[in-house]
């Protein structure tokens, strides 16, 4: 039986085929999980807020996938908004922050992607650069290379020290959160991977779902999440 992977849903105010708002997950994200052997399930954030039942709801799943999305509100790391900080969704911020805290407490496996890595960093006490001015490396709607730390967990997963990734972001990690280790960077020094020192959490700044069907390294991230989910389920 495929392990259940909670893909944390994104709230959309309007959807062409529906009359009302919706809870969504990117098709590529779900396809990547399924191709790796998992069963993707979109996790709905309740309109009333995460609530006391959040941990119990998450506990039904074998792993959690925290996708990308809009900018994280800077008030969560003690800053005023930058002019380029846009499309902040307070509801989504609350859900993603609380889900991440719950995962760190529970020990569930998690893969965090793009905004998901930024949320993890903030939950751990870190901060963000609200708008990264691109120089030698393009990060917004671009393909660029990342360099991994030899012997790191991510290195063991993908099996190479350098490979190209699909990137779409303008915010980057600034002050590193407690308990996190940087294990990959872009050529301009932007943090591309963090690993939690005690929780079963890996986070990447790029979008591995974009190229999962053709990139063995990106597929390996989802396969690793499914493997960790299987182990978590067996240990319960």
Active site residue 76: no
The total of structural domains in the chain comes to: 1
Average pLDDT (174-198) is 98
Contact (Cβ atoms closer than 8 angstroms) between residue 161 and residue 110: no
Active site residue 134: no
User: Which CATH number fits the domain that encloses residue 111?
Assistant: 3.40.50.880
Contact (Cβ atoms closer than 8 angstroms) between residue 121 and residue 195: no
The pLDDT score that the predictor gives to residue 87 is 83
The single residue of 30, 76, 98, 114 carrying the catalytic annotation is 114
**Does the structure show a pLDDT above 90 at 83?**
yes
Q: What is the pLDDT of residues 213-227, one digit of tens each?
A: 999 999 999 999 999
pLDDT-derived band at 86, boundaries 50, 70, 90: confident
Active site residue 207: yes
Cα 78 to Cα 46, 75, 87, 180, 191: the distances in Å are 26, 5, 18, 19, 20
The single residue of 124, 144, 209, 212 carrying the catalytic annotation is 209
Domain that holds residue 31: 4-235
């Amino acid at each position: 039986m495929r392990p259940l992977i909670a893909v944390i849903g994104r709230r959309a105010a309007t959807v062409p085929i529906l009359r009302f708002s919706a809870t969504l997950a990117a098709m590529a994200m779900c396809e990547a999980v399924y191709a790796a052997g998992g069963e993707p399930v979109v996790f709905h954030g309740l309109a009333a807020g995460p609530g006391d039942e959040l941990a119990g709801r998450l506990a039904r799943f074998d792993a959690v996938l925290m996708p990308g999305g809009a900018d994280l509100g800077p008030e969560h790391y003690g800053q005023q908004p930058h002019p380029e900080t846009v499309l902040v969704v307070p509801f989504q911020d609350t859900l993603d922050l609380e889900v991440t805290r719950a995962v760190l407490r529970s020990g569930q496996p998690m893969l965090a992607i793009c905004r998901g890595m930024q949320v993890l960093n903030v939950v751990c006490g870190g901060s963000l650069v609200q708008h990264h001015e691109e120089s030698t490396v393009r990060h917004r709607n671009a393909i660029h290379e990342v360099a991994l730390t030899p012997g790191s967990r991510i290195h063991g997963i993908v099996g190479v020290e350098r490979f190209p990734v699909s990137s779409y972001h303008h915010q980057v990690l600034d002050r590193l959160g407690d308990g996190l280790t940087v294990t990959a960077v872009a050529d301009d020094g932007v943090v591309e991977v963090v690993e939690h020192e005690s929780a079963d959490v890996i986070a990447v700044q790029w979008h591995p779902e974009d190229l999962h069907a053709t990139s063995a390294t990106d597929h390996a991230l989802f396969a690793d999440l499914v493997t960790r989910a299987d182990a978590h389920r067996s240990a319960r």
